[in-house]
Protein backbone atom coordinates (compact mmCIF):
# COMPACT_ATOMS: atom_id res chain seq x y z
CA UNK A 1 0.00 0.00 0.00
CA UNK A 2 1.27 3.46 -0.90
CA UNK A 3 1.71 5.41 2.33
CA UNK A 4 3.61 8.40 3.67
CA UNK A 5 4.23 8.56 7.41
CA UNK A 6 5.48 11.71 9.11
CA UNK A 7 6.89 12.21 12.57
CA UNK A 8 6.54 13.77 14.97
CA UNK A 9 2.87 14.67 14.65
CA UNK A 10 3.55 17.95 16.41
CA UNK A 11 6.61 19.79 17.68
CA UNK A 12 7.18 22.84 19.85
CA UNK A 13 10.56 24.58 19.85
CA UNK A 14 12.02 27.88 20.95
CA UNK A 15 12.88 30.58 18.47
CA UNK A 16 16.43 30.24 17.19
CA UNK A 17 16.62 26.48 17.73
CA UNK A 18 17.02 23.88 14.99
CA UNK A 19 14.66 20.99 14.35
CA UNK A 20 14.30 17.98 12.06
CA UNK A 21 11.10 16.52 10.70
CA UNK A 22 10.92 12.95 9.41
CA UNK A 23 9.13 11.32 6.50
CA UNK A 24 9.03 7.59 5.73
CA UNK A 25 7.28 6.27 2.66
CA UNK A 26 6.30 3.07 0.93
CA UNK A 27 5.20 4.68 -2.34
CA UNK A 28 6.18 2.92 -5.53
CA UNK A 29 7.19 3.51 -8.26
CA UNK A 30 8.95 6.58 -6.92
CA UNK A 31 9.18 9.71 -9.04
CA UNK A 32 10.02 12.53 -6.65
CA UNK A 33 9.50 13.76 -3.10
CA UNK A 34 8.36 17.20 -2.03
CA UNK A 35 8.09 19.12 1.18
CA UNK A 36 5.36 21.71 1.54
CA UNK A 37 4.74 24.35 4.20
CA UNK A 38 1.14 25.14 5.02
CA UNK A 39 0.35 28.17 7.13
CA UNK A 40 -2.93 28.19 9.04
CA UNK A 41 -5.78 29.16 6.75
CA UNK A 42 -3.68 28.96 3.58
CA UNK A 43 -2.85 26.43 0.91
CA UNK A 44 0.45 24.52 0.96
CA UNK A 45 3.54 26.14 -0.56
CA UNK A 46 6.33 24.07 -2.09
CA UNK A 47 9.69 24.15 -0.27
CA UNK A 48 11.77 21.51 -2.05
CA UNK A 49 11.49 18.87 -4.77
CA UNK A 50 13.91 15.92 -4.78
CA UNK A 51 14.40 13.20 -7.34
CA UNK A 52 15.78 9.71 -6.84
CA UNK A 53 19.38 10.78 -7.44
CA UNK A 54 19.38 13.75 -5.10
CA UNK A 55 20.49 13.34 -1.48
CA UNK A 56 20.27 16.91 -0.23
CA UNK A 57 18.54 20.07 -1.33
CA UNK A 58 18.42 23.41 0.43
CA UNK A 59 16.04 26.35 0.30
CA UNK A 60 17.30 29.05 2.62
CA UNK A 61 17.09 27.76 6.19
CA UNK A 62 15.32 24.61 5.02
CA UNK A 63 17.40 21.55 4.06
CA UNK A 64 15.79 18.36 2.84
CA UNK A 65 17.53 15.00 2.64
CA UNK A 66 16.50 11.87 0.82
CA UNK A 67 17.64 8.27 1.25
CA UNK A 68 15.95 6.39 -1.56
CA UNK A 69 17.31 3.06 -0.33
CA UNK A 70 15.66 3.27 3.07
CA UNK A 71 12.78 5.38 1.72
CA UNK A 72 13.29 8.12 4.24
CA UNK A 73 13.42 11.88 3.98
CA UNK A 74 13.99 14.61 6.51
CA UNK A 75 13.45 18.35 6.60
CA UNK A 76 15.88 20.30 8.76
CA UNK A 77 15.05 23.83 9.81
CA UNK A 78 17.94 25.96 10.99
CA UNK A 79 17.69 28.93 13.36
CA UNK A 80 13.92 28.75 13.56
CA UNK A 81 11.80 31.87 13.36
CA UNK A 82 8.29 32.58 14.59
CA UNK A 83 7.12 32.56 10.97
CA UNK A 84 8.19 28.92 10.67
CA UNK A 85 5.13 27.97 12.75
CA UNK A 86 3.09 25.94 10.27
CA UNK A 87 2.26 22.43 9.13
CA UNK A 88 4.97 20.72 7.08
CA UNK A 89 3.72 18.15 4.63
CA UNK A 90 5.75 15.45 2.92
CA UNK A 91 4.45 14.36 -0.48
CA UNK A 92 5.73 11.46 -2.54
CA UNK A 93 4.89 11.32 -6.22
CA UNK A 94 4.26 8.02 -7.95
CA UNK A 95 5.14 7.99 -11.60
CA UNK A 96 3.84 5.42 -14.06
CA UNK A 97 2.54 5.38 -17.60
CA UNK A 98 2.85 9.12 -17.93
CA UNK A 99 0.77 9.76 -14.81
CA UNK A 100 2.10 11.32 -11.62
CA UNK A 101 0.00 10.71 -8.54
CA UNK A 102 0.78 12.39 -5.20
CA UNK A 103 0.51 10.64 -1.84
CA UNK A 104 0.42 13.05 1.08
CA UNK A 105 1.56 12.60 4.65
CA UNK A 106 -0.57 13.91 7.52
CA UNK A 107 1.94 16.65 8.21
CA UNK A 108 3.95 17.76 11.22
CA UNK A 109 2.58 20.75 13.09
CA UNK A 110 5.47 22.98 14.17
CA UNK A 111 5.06 25.75 16.74
CA UNK A 112 7.93 28.14 17.34
CA UNK A 113 7.75 30.02 20.64
CA UNK A 114 9.57 33.30 21.34
CA UNK B 1 -0.34 35.11 -3.17
CA UNK B 2 0.41 32.09 -5.34
CA UNK B 3 -1.59 33.14 -8.40
CA UNK B 4 -4.39 30.71 -7.58
CA UNK B 5 -7.59 32.17 -6.16
CA UNK B 6 -10.60 30.42 -4.69
CA UNK B 7 -14.08 31.63 -3.88
CA UNK B 8 -15.81 31.61 -1.58
CA UNK B 9 -13.29 31.34 1.25
CA UNK B 10 -15.95 30.08 3.66
CA UNK B 11 -19.23 28.31 2.97
CA UNK B 12 -21.96 26.95 5.20
CA UNK B 13 -24.63 24.86 3.54
CA UNK B 14 -27.42 22.51 4.41
CA UNK B 15 -27.56 18.95 3.17
CA UNK B 16 -30.23 19.80 0.59
CA UNK B 17 -28.46 22.84 -0.85
CA UNK B 18 -26.61 23.13 -4.15
CA UNK B 19 -23.50 25.27 -4.25
CA UNK B 20 -20.38 25.64 -6.35
CA UNK B 21 -16.76 26.31 -5.48
CA UNK B 22 -14.68 28.32 -7.94
CA UNK B 23 -10.97 28.26 -8.62
CA UNK B 24 -9.02 30.49 -10.97
CA UNK B 25 -5.34 30.43 -11.84
CA UNK B 26 -3.33 33.19 -13.49
CA UNK B 27 -0.10 31.26 -13.98
CA UNK B 28 -0.56 29.89 -17.48
CA UNK B 29 -0.75 26.33 -16.16
CA UNK B 30 -2.54 23.56 -18.00
CA UNK B 31 -3.40 21.18 -15.15
CA UNK B 32 -5.75 21.82 -12.25
CA UNK B 33 -6.61 19.79 -9.18
CA UNK B 34 -9.19 19.55 -6.41
CA UNK B 35 -8.11 18.29 -2.99
CA UNK B 36 -10.01 17.66 0.23
CA UNK B 37 -8.25 18.33 3.53
CA UNK B 38 -10.01 17.04 6.65
CA UNK B 39 -8.80 17.58 10.17
CA UNK B 40 -5.93 15.27 11.14
CA UNK B 41 -6.00 13.51 7.76
CA UNK B 42 -3.70 13.78 4.75
CA UNK B 43 -4.75 15.75 1.73
CA UNK B 44 -6.93 13.63 -0.50
CA UNK B 45 -6.69 14.08 -4.25
CA UNK B 46 -10.20 14.29 -5.69
CA UNK B 47 -9.96 15.28 -9.34
CA UNK B 48 -7.27 16.13 -11.88
CA UNK B 49 -7.84 18.02 -15.09
CA UNK B 50 -5.12 18.16 -17.72
CA UNK B 51 -5.66 20.30 -20.78
CA UNK B 52 -9.30 20.65 -19.71
CA UNK B 53 -9.90 16.90 -19.70
CA UNK B 54 -10.51 14.95 -16.53
CA UNK B 55 -7.66 12.49 -16.14
CA UNK B 56 -8.18 11.42 -12.55
CA UNK B 57 -11.28 10.76 -10.49
CA UNK B 58 -10.19 9.34 -7.18
CA UNK B 59 -13.35 7.43 -6.26
CA UNK B 60 -15.16 10.57 -5.27
CA UNK B 61 -18.91 10.35 -4.54
CA UNK B 62 -21.16 11.65 -7.28
CA UNK B 63 -22.43 14.43 -5.01
CA UNK B 64 -19.19 16.18 -6.02
CA UNK B 65 -19.14 17.19 -9.68
CA UNK B 66 -16.15 19.00 -11.19
CA UNK B 67 -16.19 21.24 -14.22
CA UNK B 68 -13.25 22.71 -16.12
CA UNK B 69 -14.51 25.08 -18.83
CA UNK B 70 -11.01 26.26 -19.74
CA UNK B 71 -7.45 25.93 -18.51
CA UNK B 72 -7.79 28.87 -16.12
CA UNK B 73 -10.99 27.95 -14.34
CA UNK B 74 -12.11 24.99 -12.29
CA UNK B 75 -15.39 24.47 -10.48
CA UNK B 76 -16.60 21.97 -7.93
CA UNK B 77 -20.37 21.64 -7.90
CA UNK B 78 -21.84 20.37 -4.63
CA UNK B 79 -25.26 18.85 -4.01
CA UNK B 80 -26.88 16.84 -1.23
CA UNK B 81 -23.69 16.80 0.79
CA UNK B 82 -23.24 15.02 4.12
CA UNK B 83 -21.84 16.47 7.37
CA UNK B 84 -18.68 14.37 6.90
CA UNK B 85 -18.00 16.35 3.74
CA UNK B 86 -17.13 19.34 5.92
CA UNK B 87 -13.48 20.11 5.20
CA UNK B 88 -11.07 22.50 3.54
CA UNK B 89 -11.25 22.16 -0.23
CA UNK B 90 -8.05 23.15 -1.96
CA UNK B 91 -7.52 23.89 -5.60
CA UNK B 92 -4.08 23.65 -7.20
CA UNK B 93 -2.58 24.13 -10.63
CA UNK B 94 0.63 23.06 -12.34
CA UNK B 95 2.34 22.89 -15.70
CA UNK B 96 2.14 19.45 -17.29
CA UNK B 97 5.46 18.10 -18.35
CA UNK B 98 8.53 16.77 -16.57
CA UNK B 99 7.39 15.55 -13.16
CA UNK B 100 9.87 17.63 -11.20
CA UNK B 101 8.60 20.74 -12.93
CA UNK B 102 5.05 19.97 -11.93
CA UNK B 103 5.20 22.02 -8.77
CA UNK B 104 1.65 22.51 -7.69
CA UNK B 105 0.58 25.96 -6.65
CA UNK B 106 -2.27 25.87 -4.18
CA UNK B 107 -5.06 28.32 -3.61
CA UNK B 108 -6.06 29.41 -0.09
CA UNK B 109 -8.90 26.90 0.04
CA UNK B 110 -12.63 27.04 0.76
CA UNK B 111 -13.61 26.10 4.29
CA UNK B 112 -16.87 24.16 3.91
CA UNK B 113 -19.27 23.33 6.74
CA UNK B 114 -22.23 21.08 6.00
CA UNK B 115 -25.04 21.23 8.54
pLDDT tier at B34, thresholds 50, 70, 90: very high
**Residue B65: is it exposed, middle or buried by C-beta count within 10 angstroms (0-12/13-18/19+)?**
middle
What integer best gives the mean pLDDT of chain B? 88
Look at residue B57 in the predicted model and tell me its pLDDT: 67
Cβ-based contacts of A106 with chain B (< 8 Å): 40-42
Closest CA to B47 of B76, B18, B11: B76
Closest CA to B76 of B97, B103, B48: B48
Closest CA to A53 of A74, A25, A75, A33: A33
Beta-carbon contacts of residue B78 (< 8 Å; ≥ 6 apart): B13, B17, B18, B19, B20, B21, B63, B64, B65, B85, B112
Cβ-based contacts of B53 with chain A (< 8 Å): none
Beta-carbon contacts of residue A85 (< 8 Å; ≥ 6 apart): A110, A111, A112
Cβ-based contacts of A25 with chain B (< 8 Å): none
Look at residue B1 in the predicted model and tell me its pLDDT: 60
Q: Does A101 sit within 8 Å of B102, measured CB to CB?
A: no
Block means of pLDDT (10 residues each) for chain A, length 114 residues?
93 97 93 93 91 92 95 97 97 79 92 96
Q: Does A5 touch chain B (CB under 8 A)?
A: no
Residues in chain A: 114
Look at residue B48 in the predicted model and tell me its pLDDT: 87
Q: Does A45 touch chain B (CB under 8 A)?
A: yes
What one-character-per-residue DSSP string does chain A give? ---EEEE-SEEEEETT--EEEEEEE--SSEEEEEEEEE-TTS--EEEEEEETT--EEEETTEEEEEETTTTEEEEEE-S--GGG-EEEEEEEEEEETTEEEEEE---EEEEEE-
8 A C-beta contact, residue A50 and residue A66: yes
pLDDT tier at B100, thresholds 50, 70, 90: low
Question: Is it the case that residue B39 has pLDDT exceeding 90?
Answer: no
Nearest-Cα residue of chain B relative to residue A33: B100
Look at residue A72 in the predicted model and tell me its pLDDT: 97
Look at residue A8 in the predicted model and tell me its pLDDT: 96
Question: Is it the case that residue B95 has pLDDT exceeding 90?
Answer: no
**Range from A16-30, A62-76, B80-94, B96-110 carrying the lowest mean pLDDT:** B96-110
Question: Is it the case that residue B96 has pLDDT exceeding 80?
Answer: no
Closest CA to A49 of A24, A75, A27: A75
Amino acid sequence: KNQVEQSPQSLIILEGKNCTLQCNYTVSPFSNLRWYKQDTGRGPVSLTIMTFSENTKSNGRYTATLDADTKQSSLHITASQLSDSASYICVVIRGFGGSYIPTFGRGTSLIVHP
Amino acid sequence: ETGVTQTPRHLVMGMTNKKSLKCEQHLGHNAMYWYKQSAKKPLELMFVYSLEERVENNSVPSRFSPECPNSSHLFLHLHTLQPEDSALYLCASSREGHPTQETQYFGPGTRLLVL
